[in-house]
Amino acid sequence: MVNPKLSHRASICYRRIEPSDREILEQIHCDLFPIRYESEFFQNVVNGQDIVSWAAVDRNRPNGRSDELVGFVTARIVLAKESEIGDMLRYDPSKPDQTLVYILTLGVVDGYRNLGIASSLIQKVVKYASSIQTCRAVYLHVISYNDPAIRLYKKMSFQCLRRLQGFYLIGGQQYDSYLFVYYVNGGRSPCSPLELVTIMVSYMRSGLKTVAAKLYKNEDRKVPKWPKCKESHSLISTTQHRRSLTAECNGCECV
């Protein structure tokens, strides 16, 4: 891997975050994020207490820093029924053990960006979530002005489901957040694209059948005129219903 900002050719490897990483992990979080994390958070990360994590290191990094973090991702498992996306996830309520993986933090230090490290770290999380039989999705929040992150998640097939107004409070100012999700192990939204198309086609067919039936009836009576407004209205209602379904199922669109 080559980056003009580096004086050497990077050799990126991935491993779990360890207790010896705590100091540099805290420093990178401080450098990258406007939000301050409690000491307990880092303690839980390095000790693997309810949090899973992966680190990216450069084995060719000089000056004895070949095992120092250049990127990381942290995540935790949450119960689907207790999550904020429970209403946007189709799952069997009779199985209370169904879970989700929530990405807490993801970062790459300056000089190691645009090398595919963030993508690889996300893939680690997705692979981990997929290995959990009860897991149905990976989800996360992105602050609304973080365009590079938004583009990355879209590129990796995450779906933007919702825009949350005033989700972050930073320096006394509120910022919106986008909610992204990646479904695994058969997980899906209550209204999938295929189901939406099926519903629309069904309503359109129903409307056409109504018109055809009226036309046949009129012809049978030998009345040479088109159906009255009542029959035409069935097509108008179908169109309006289709628009309503689209609005309900699309969620938000990140641009």
Q: Could you tell me if 103 and 73 are in contact, meaning their C-beta atoms sit under 8 angstroms apart?
A: yes
Q: Does the pLDDT at position 242 exceed 80?
A: no
Q: Could you tell me if 109 and 71 are in contact, meaning their C-beta atoms sit under 8 angstroms apart?
A: yes
Query: 222 falls in which pLDDT band (50, 70, 90)?
Result: low
* Eight-state DSSP code of residue 232: H
* pLDDT digits 0-9 by tens, 151-202: 999 999 999 999 999 999 999 999 999 999 999 998 887 665 555 455 455 5
What's the whole-number mean pLDDT along residues 87-100?
73
Find, among 249, 253, 252, 254, the residue nearest to 197 by Cα: 249
Three-state SS at 84: coil
Burial environment of residue 70 by CB neighbours within 10 A (0 to 12, 13 to 18, 19 or more) = buried
Q: What is the DSSP string of 156-220?
A: TT-EEEEEEEEEEEETTEEEEEEEEEEE-TT-B-SS-HHHHHHHHHHHHHHHHHHHHHHHHHHHH
Q: Considering the entire predicted model, what is its pTM?
A: 0.72
